[in-house]
Amino acid sequence: MHQFKYATPGSIEALLSMLAEQRSPVKLLAGGTDLIVQMRTGAVTPALVIDVKQVVELNQLLLSDKGLIIGAAVSCRTVYENNHVARAYPALIDAASLIGGIQIQGRASIGGNLCNASPSADLIPALIVLEALAVIQNSRGSRELPVEDFCTGPGTNALAGDELLVSLKLPPGAKNSGACFRRFTPRNEMDIAVANAAAAVVLSADGKHFTSARIAIGAVGPTPILVQEAAEALQGKPVSGASVGIAADIARQAASPINDMRGTIAQRKQLVQVLVTRALQGAIERAGGAL
Amino acid sequence: MSEMVHVKTTINGAAVDFLCEPRQSLLEVLRDVLYLTGTKEGCNDGNCGSCTVTLDGVLVNACCVLGVEVAGKAVTTIEGMAKNGNLHPLQVAFLEETGLQCGICTPGFLVSSRALLERHPAPSEAQIRHWLAGNLCRCTGYDRIILAVQKASKRMLAGT
Amino acid sequence: MKAGGKREDVLRVIGTTPIRPDGLDKVTGRAIFADDIHLPGMLHGKVLRSPHAHARIKSIDTRQAAALPGVHAVISAADFPEPAKPTSKSADISDLATNCMATTTALYDGHAVAAVAAENIHIAGQALGLIEVDYEVLDAVLDVRSAMADDAPVIHENLKPGFFFASTKKAHPNAGRLEYSDGDISKGFSCASVIVERTFTTQTVHQGYIEAHISTALWDADDRLSVWTSCQGHFDIRDQLAGILNIPMSHINVIPLEVGGAFGGKDSVYLDPLAALLSKKCGRPVKMAMSRNEVLRATGPSSGSSMRVRMGVDDSGKLVAADISFAFEAGAFPGGPVSAGILTATTRYNIPNYRLEGFDVILNKPKIRPYRAPGATQSHFAVETVLDELAEKLGMDPIELRIRNAMKTGDRLVLGYPCPVIGGVELLEAVRSHPHYRAPLDGQNQGRGVAYGFWYGGGGASSAELSVNADGTVQVCTGSCDMSGTRMTLAMQTAEALGIQVSEVQVTTGDTQSIGFTLPAWGSRTTFATGIACITVAEKVIAKMIERAAGIWETDNSNVRFDAGVFTNTNDKLQALTFKQLAAKLDSTGGLLSDQASVSPQGVGFQLAAYLVDVEVDTQTGKVSILRSTIFQDAGKAVHPDYVAGQMQGGVVQGLGWALNEAYIYRADGTLANTSFLDYRMPTALDQPMTETVILETPNPGHPYGVRGVGEVSIVNPPAAVANAIYNAVGIRMDSLPMSPTAVLEKLWEHQAAQL
Amino acid sequence: MAIVWIPSTVRELTNGKAMLEADGNTVAEVIRNIDLACPGIRSALIDDNSLRAGIIIAVDGSIGSRQLLQPVRPDSEIHFIPAIFGG
């Protein structure tokens, strides 16, 4: 591995001023499960590695009636082992408990999974359908960005050089709502998604109709994709296999996958249809509805 | 030579301090600086679990942690599993059930299994398979590892 | 009765399950593997590898790397001596050397082109970046069919014939060919009522041992070389080093360590000569360890293949003819397992007319090495699925078809050799009568498949030295590396022969300067062949102890009887000494005893296994889940039944990995795409259920206790059995490995399209 | 005379014959005698007075470690078998 300096700022102010002042390449270290491996292969060679785990704001996990705030450095395992969070946001748990094995889950952070911006990242579609906002800060101020706009391409994101992803804000779940994440991998775990999908639905009080929906798919384009058209197609429609099928078809159309060693275009298109269907089924069930 | 960092930490309950470069992983520090060679390298990229240790009680791959990160934290390794020469029930069960062949993955499996039993003292087979999915074994086909964990769990619950 | 000659019916130790001697160190982290060697002043070496699959090396400039502070030595092919004339019949030394370090041409992605030794791995890594190599990239060949095309790029100007029996004959600039045949296949097929012909492909797969290749070498000022390495056979490593480095074997000491998995893949040198030459250059010990990326790119996997099988069966279910042509990857140098592939294709069946053709194909991939029953998993995938189809077309139970054709003891094998004692029919009957075979399948898209498999296994040279201590305990030193518990199986055989407790026998592995020549731990041979060395030396020691007892009792040797650990004077039954009591008297009756035996047993007992599997196919995603798994194996006398079961289960799961997901995936430019355990997908604990084991024990008359090798045959059946189960579940015949979701889905689509 | 089974890989040297008969007290002697009738057989099997790589010899179904020096009886059957050891 190349040589680098290592810093552990104790406050968000100290961290932001380091980012503001640094002229050579910097990488932020939270879980390190991507960064350390990337540095070892020489894929990235920062001059400074800033360990963000001492910063309080990045370690918060706050559930209230206003929703959920997840600090960017909070690990997947911390999230899925919190029973209250697990009950309130099961779709997040679907994804967080599937990343790597248990050793990776103990380190890999929610923010890191987002910032790494892998097209196949499992958390991102789940965060998208849960309407998560990325809370971004630099030494001059802060802004919020919907997660669906955060990734700009494979491995690239919307953060400027001096900006920091502080946390993710998830609104509270509406009445009669439910969400679910599904992915497909050849092995049952320890694998990268060939395709993945998340769905969130809000049902009418009687559970018979879709009030609204959100559908996101991953590993089938340069970034995870929010499929607005599929969601719109469900609005006001009866909760039925036919409705689900139409949405899944639209999602399939929206997918623009590539052939690579993990799967083919045709397979991924098929998987999008299957996974969106299964994610919707799960979401409907969690919303108290039935097909 | 590059800048060395002085790190104070706790390993297997004992205060330890060492010097390392920021680029050295915890795995490298354990093995090449502290000569705690029980933690094994299988892939060095987080995909086999052979270097599993706990960091403040959480299972991690030591290859995906920097040595400098463990300052002020508590690390446990396979070397800390037997107490005063008495084997942990899992170690006994792995021996009795032939839960190992070549033995290279064994320390990682034991550390993961201990963390599992601390969290879920009576795990189901599915739970055991889930907790051990991050540890690769190429010799055993896993059957006898799972039997060993089940046996240790029963003994620990019975207090024997 | 021969001294110590306890036989199968009165065994006390064989068949029990004591805890292995190395177990404690392995569960406490104290066991010393190759990476745990730390020598004073030790440097760390790293290898620069070709980023191209095929490229002429026009120049290498190492000056900048050598000048980097902390770097102590840099080598390339120019630093290799002229290899010695081979003294053993093993692999071609110049090919071996060229595989360790490319000379004029890099022959595969990852082929070594230079190496450095530095203060630490980070500096060594930095130094690699400073080596300038000027490559002229050449066209690469990556599959057997294109390698054998008329216009294929020629990889070796003068292809040498392969290493196997009677040599392969050059059939193409990139391929050797061999053939075994008998009878008249066209006449045979004319008697057939059903003929099935299919072609199959399989991909390159890796043994996947968790411990990488690691070697530490110290070249002393007096030209003596010590090497600490992870290998299956340290004598083979020594002999290869002596050839490559052109120094006497006696000047080399190879010190074996705990082996972190091998499965056939650790029988040849990669890093050892590089570490030795680096050490020679800088006078300090040098440790080299491969990364997982290097292991996958540059060590010897098992062959990808292209196979054509045509088989015919008559109305009565008798196989009448087989016409088989296999092309196996050899990798960058000749000598893949195609001979074993074609010889294991049909050997478990009696087929009067056959033609078995094999091509050993050179291409731009790493040199193929053995992997657990090398060549047989590929051949069984092809032949056992064709048999399933024949049975289906005949309307016959698949086990019944196999029983009707099963090779029995004394039948003529391919090559005419009479089959040694086997229990094939009994094994197949055990499958048929097992509850799993008739259990109902209760879900949609579920199916059951079976396959029946065969493997030869090896015997040959093994050495053991045995010393009796004054307290009656015994230590045994052998030349066999222990990969899976063989120190225990050897201790058990020694204890059996001496009539003492297994806890009183300590078995260790000696380095190459401490014990006689022993072949590597390959071909499931250690418990069999080194076991016979242990029994032989035990018998020699007992014979000497009989002399001592006779001396004490002032009688003839012939009046001393040894049985179950007790020496008795047959003329005076009151005069009896246990092994322990007599051991205490050795020092005062002529000195403590030790002896040595070097044997070369060849009475190998064939390995037979059958595998029964239930699967469920997700027809929407192509994913195949394993629902139930049972393996049946004829283990001969099972020395340690838990270890036998462990070999069976381990082999099954490797076979399931090969069946479902494992494969080398190459990019169009010939570089390997999946270079980590993330994308080289070996099974995890979550990917299959428990495998039930059914052990049959047909004693092998070639071993005093009836022992057969048990390590390999378990891998050969799962791909075929899973393919047959998939057919049973959803009606598609898989003809390629791996049967990944991608492949199954495509086949399902083809099937659906054909039905429209 | 002993019966020698000729592997198909070298049958071009025996005019396609799968079995030959020859005298000899050891395998080496038998091979020398066959070579008189079918020149080339010896060098296909033997190099520098020892068996070529990868071949083992069975006499009457039993594979001895003495290879070419194995004793042969007048009614013996000799087979040349590829040494397939494995992984």
Complex ipTM value: 0.96
Predicted local confidence at residue C70, as pLDDT: 97
Kindly list the domain boundaries of chain D, sorted by start residue: 2-82
**Between chain D and chain B, are at least 3 CB pairs below 8 A?**
no
Predicted local confidence at residue B21, as pLDDT: 97
Q: Does D45 touch chain C (CB under 8 A)?
A: yes
Tracing tokens 């775990």 back to the chain, one arrives at A189
Q: What CATH number does domain B89-158 carry, 3.50.50.60, 1.10.150.120, 3.10.290.10, 3.40.190.290?
A: 1.10.150.120
Sheet strands (E) in C5-140: 43-49, 55-61, 71-76, 105-106, 112-118, 132-137
Predicted local confidence at residue C86, as pLDDT: 65
| D chain contacts of residue C457, beta-carbon cutoff 8 Å | 85-86
How far does the CA of residue C182 sit from the closest CA of chain D (Å)? Answer: 8
The architecture of the domain spanning A56-170 is 2-Layer Sandwich (3.30)
Segment A164-202, tens digit of pLDDT: 999 999 999 999 999 999 999 999 999 999 999 999 999
Q: What class is the C375-457+604-755 domain?
A: alpha beta
Given a cut of 60, whether residue C333 has pLDDT beyond it is yes
Segment C83-105, tens digit of pLDDT: 887 655 555 888 999 999 999 99
Beta-carbon separation of B104 and C260 below 8 A: yes
C672, closest residue in chain A (CA to CA): A261
| C chain contacts of residue D18, beta-carbon cutoff 8 Å | 182, 416
| D chain contacts of residue C600, beta-carbon cutoff 8 Å | 65
Q: Which of B77, B125, B139 to mutate to test the interface with C (most CBs of C within 10 A)?
A: B139
Predicted local confidence at residue C131, as pLDDT: 98
Kindly list the domain boundaries of chain B, sorted by start residue: 5-79, 89-158
The architecture of the domain spanning A177-286 is 2-Layer Sandwich (3.30)
CATH topology of domain C8-31+459-599: Aldehyde Oxidoreductase; domain 4 (3.30.365)
Tracing tokens 């540890």 back to the chain, one arrives at B135
Q: In what order do the strands lie in the sheet with D2-5?
A: D19-22, D2-5, D77-82, D55-59, D62-63
| B chain contacts of residue A107, beta-carbon cutoff 8 Å | 58, 60-61, 64-65
Given a cut of 50, whether residue C4 has pLDDT beyond it is no
Instruction: From residue B26, give the alpha-carbon distance in Å to each of A264, B75, C27, C120, C754.
Output: 38, 10, 21, 15, 56
Predicted local confidence at residue C79, as pLDDT: 97
Which of C26, C35, C678 is closest, CB to CB, to B103? C26
**Between chain C and chain A, are at least 3 CB pairs below 8 A?**
yes
594-653 of C, contacting D, C-beta below 8 A:
599-604
How far does the CA of residue C485 sit from the closest CA of chain B (Å)? Answer: 6
- Determine if the pTM surpasses 0.90: yes
Beta-carbon separation of B44 and C292 below 8 A: yes
Given a cut of 70, whether residue C422 has pLDDT beyond it is yes
| A chain contacts of residue B120, beta-carbon cutoff 8 Å | none
Beta-carbon separation of A262 and C679 below 8 A: yes
Predicted local confidence at residue C89, as pLDDT: 52
How far does the CA of residue C190 sit from the closest CA of chain D (Å)? Answer: 22
Question: Where is pLDDT greater, at B142 or D38?
Answer: B142
Which of B22, B47, B135 is closest, CB to CB, to A6? B22
Task: Give the model's confidence band at A213: pLDDT under 50 very low, under 70 low, under 90 confident, else very high.
Answer: very high
| B chain contacts of residue A75, beta-carbon cutoff 8 Å | 58
Beta-carbon separation of B112 and A102 below 8 A: yes
Tracing tokens 């050089």 back to the chain, one arrives at A161
Given a cut of 60, whether residue C40 has pLDDT beyond it is yes
Chains B & C: contacts with CB separation below 8 Å:
175
Kindly list the domain boundaries of chain C, sorted by start residue: 8-31+459-599, 375-457+604-755
Segment B80-96, tens digit of pLDDT: 999 998 999 999 999 99
Q: Identify the DSSP state of C525.
A: -
Q: What CATH number does domain B5-79 carry, 3.30.450.20, 1.10.260.40, 3.10.20.30, 3.30.70.20?
A: 3.10.20.30
Alpha-carbon span C713 to C456, nearest angstrom: 9
Sheet strands (E) in C257-371: 286-289, 305-313, 319-331, 353-362
Question: In sequence order, which residues have a C-beta less than 8 Å from that of residue B72 and are 6 or more positions away?
Answer: B8, B9
All chains having 3 or more CB pairs closer than 8 angstroms to chain D: C
Given a cut of 70, whether residue C608 has pLDDT beyond it is yes
Tracing tokens 């294991």 back to the chain, one arrives at C344
Q: What class is the D2-82 domain?
A: alpha beta
CATH topology of domain A5-51: 3.30.43
Alpha-carbon span C301 to C264, nearest angstrom: 9
Given a cut of 60, whether residue C8 has pLDDT beyond it is no
What tokens were used for A129? 């359908």
Given a cut of 90, whether residue C158 has pLDDT beyond it is no
Given a cut of 70, whether residue A246 has pLDDT beyond it is yes
**Beta bridge partners of residue C215, listed in sequence order:** C229, C288
Beta-carbon separation of C686 and A187 below 8 A: yes
Predicted local confidence at residue C669, as pLDDT: 96
Question: Where is pLDDT greater, at A96 or D42?
Answer: A96
Sheet strands (E) in C368-445: none
Q: Does D58 touch chain C (CB under 8 A)?
A: yes
Among chain A, residues having any CB pair with chain B shorter than 8 Å are: 1-6, 29, 31-33, 36-37, 39-41, 49, 51, 53, 75, 77, 100-104, 106-107, 188-190
Which of C621, C623, C674 is closest, CB to CB, to A261? C674
Nearest to A77 by CA among A69, A68, A85, A88: A85
Share of chain B above pLDDT 90, in %: 96
Instruction: From residue C677, give the alpha-carbon distance in Å to each of B43, B56, C58, C662, C683.
Output: 7, 27, 34, 10, 10
Beta-carbon separation of C165 and D65 below 8 A: no
Share of chain A above pLDDT 90, in %: 99
Between the two ends of chain A, the Cα-to-Cα distance in Å is 54
Go through B5-19 and write b for each residue having 16 or more CB atoms within 10 A of its CB, e for each that does not: bebebebbeeeeebe
- CA C245 to chain CA mean position, Å: 26
Q: Does C221 touch chain A (CB under 8 A)?
A: no
Average pLDDT for chain C: 95
Task: Give the model's confidence band at C352: pLDDT under 50 very low, under 70 low, under 90 confident, else very high.
Answer: very high
B28, closest residue in chain C (CA to CA): C121
Is the Cβ–Cβ distance between C267 and C236 less than 8 Å?
Answer: yes
Alpha-carbon span C643 to C646, nearest angstrom: 5
Alpha-carbon span C299 to C208, nearest angstrom: 11
For the segment C206-217, the average pLDDT, to the nearest whole number, is 98
Beta-carbon separation of B23 and A2 below 8 A: yes
For D27-51, what is the HEC assignment? Answer: HHHHHHHHHHHCCCHHHHHEECCEE
Beta-carbon separation of B133 and A189 below 8 A: yes
597-626 of C, contacting A, C-beta below 8 A:
620-623
* Element spanning C294, H or E: helix C292-298
Predicted local confidence at residue A206, as pLDDT: 95
Predicted local confidence at residue C424, as pLDDT: 96
Stated length of chain C: 756
Among chain B, residues having any CB pair with chain A shorter than 8 Å are: 2-3, 5, 21-23, 25, 44-47, 49, 52, 55, 58-61, 63-66, 68-69, 112, 115, 130-131, 133-135
Instruction: From residue B57, give the alpha-carbon distance in Å to each of A53, A80, B118, C483.
Output: 16, 16, 10, 33
How far does the CA of residue B28 sit from the closest CA of chain A (Å)? Answer: 12
Predicted local confidence at residue C5, as pLDDT: 43
Is the Cβ–Cβ distance between D55 and D74 less than 8 Å?
Answer: no
Largest separation between any pair of C-alpha atoms in chain B? 55
Is the Cβ–Cβ distance between C612 and C437 less than 8 Å?
Answer: yes
Kindly list the domain boundaries of chain A, sorted by start residue: 5-51, 56-170, 177-286
Segment D58-71, tens digit of pLDDT: 888 777 777 888 89
Q: Which of C88, C92, C412, C417 to mutate to test the interface with D (most CBs of D within 10 A)?
A: C417
What tokens were used for A53? 């785990």
